[in-house]
Structure 1
């Protein structure tokens, strides 16, 4: 039962963060999570969670591509009409709001995996030493921060080119408000469709980069754990060999007898 609770906590930390991350609120949860794990449990569960995260990245990529294709269809439809019908624009709003959501999910994954890197580094000296000895230092925490910043900047650039701001698409309420405003004319609708299409295409590319980062991180962690485990196995074998050694013989020595 305890191991089941640990696994659940690990999965909640690593996966659900993508749905609830809002700029760092999970740090405390990560600390509580690692406090109940030993080295082997921690690495094992992070490995399990990474597979779940890879699956989620794949789902995000596929969804972003689907939204991109759907928005392209809407663009073609709008070219032949003065304005999208209300029911069609309602579908557009749903797709664009979903796009905003999956962008946040990608940011959440990057935050979570960067946090895992920081936690392991602070928790296990051997992990920090292993990373330091690598040619590049392999600072995945900073790599994820760079990815997040690049992703945000790319989206901001796309919005800015359309005379929009990130704040206008920063939350569900702001997104829906802006889309309602843009729905009043064909020009506004076309602008929203083009922005959404471009952002969806960018997210497909960014998710590929994020998947690469996660794979590199997990490969490095597996190599570290294998080297640490090999060293522990060798130490254990030496201890066992030492205690198996026969005690030195004391036969042939002078017999000690009490003298009265």
Structure 2
């Protein structure tokens, strides 16, 4: 029988330690996620940006509500003030688009994580999360379109900021027209705030799941390393005095 080298023994011990530390499901693919930490940091950055978008949307909604309160106590808002209303509505539209972009980016890095480790994708349900992020992106665009349609814009004008301003200005001549614009903007902002904060919470929850997976993976490797150290630290078996055959 050929002699077993020390290298062969080390390889066998390491493999045994890795296999016994955390049993892997039979259908899981043991692929190491070498950049999980980078993905986690990216996701947390997007979550913070999404939260910031939500806060800004809330500020603009507060201003819209102030305009609505003012118009109830007067005939119509003066044109100088109405230009501020127009700017606020544009900012709400822009923030909605930023939220959609952040949702799409988060879905992209989530899909990337699934490519690195099948076990992680099973634990986190990444495909469902990606689909949810994509749905949020589409929802933001639909909200903006609905608001623009309420201003009397045609479909072929939807991508034009100038057309949006013109549509808002067209209804600025009377208190009734201004009220309709402000109500539509308020509804748009309210829906977008709710969805943005839900998006932020989902990102945070997913980040916590990724962090838990990273901790478990680090613990598994630490146990495997310790098993290898214990093996190397053990006294060598006696070379003499054994039973002879």
TM-score, length basis structure 1:
0.68
Please name the residue that 2:135 is paired with: 146
**Counterpart residue number, 2:45:** 52
Please point out which of 110, 119, 131 is paired with 1:126: 119
Does structure 1 residue 72 correspond to structure 2 residue 65?
yes
Choose the corresponding residue for 1:178, options 136, 154, 167: 167
**Shift of the alpha carbon at 1:244?**
2.8
The change in CA–CA distance for 1:166 and 1:91 in structure 2 (over 3 A counts) is farther
For 1:190, the equivalent position in structure 2 comes to 179
CA distance in 1, matches of 2:234, 2:154: 74
Q: Which runs of 5+ in 2 are unaligned?
A: 1-31
**Largest Rg, 1 or 2:** 2
Q: Which structure is richer in relative contact order (CA contacts within 8 A, separation 6 or more)?
A: 2
- Output the CA distance in 1 between the equivalents of 2:210 and 2:175: 52
In 1, the alpha carbon distance for the partners of 2:230 and 2:60 equals 63
- Where in structure 1 are there 5+ consecutive unaligned residues? 1-37, 254-260
What is the aligned residue count? 211
Which residue of the partner structure matches residue 243 of structure 1? 232
1:166-206 CA distances to partner (integer Å, 9 max, x unpaired)?
Answer: 76554534433333333344443322211111111112211
Residues 76-103 of structure 1 show CA distances to partners (whole Å, capped at 9, x for unaligned) of 3334444432211111111111111110
Note if 1:87 corresponds to 2:80. Answer: yes
1:204 counterpart SS class: helix
Superposed CA RMSD in Å reads: 2.9
Moved more, 187-196 or 114-123: 187-196
Within 1, Cα distance between the matches of 2:227 and 2:45?
Answer: 38
Q: Equivalents in 2 of 1:47, 1:192: separation in Å?
A: 41
- Report the equivalent of 1:103: 96
Q: Distance between the aligned counterparts of 2:71 and 2:156, measured in 1?
A: 26
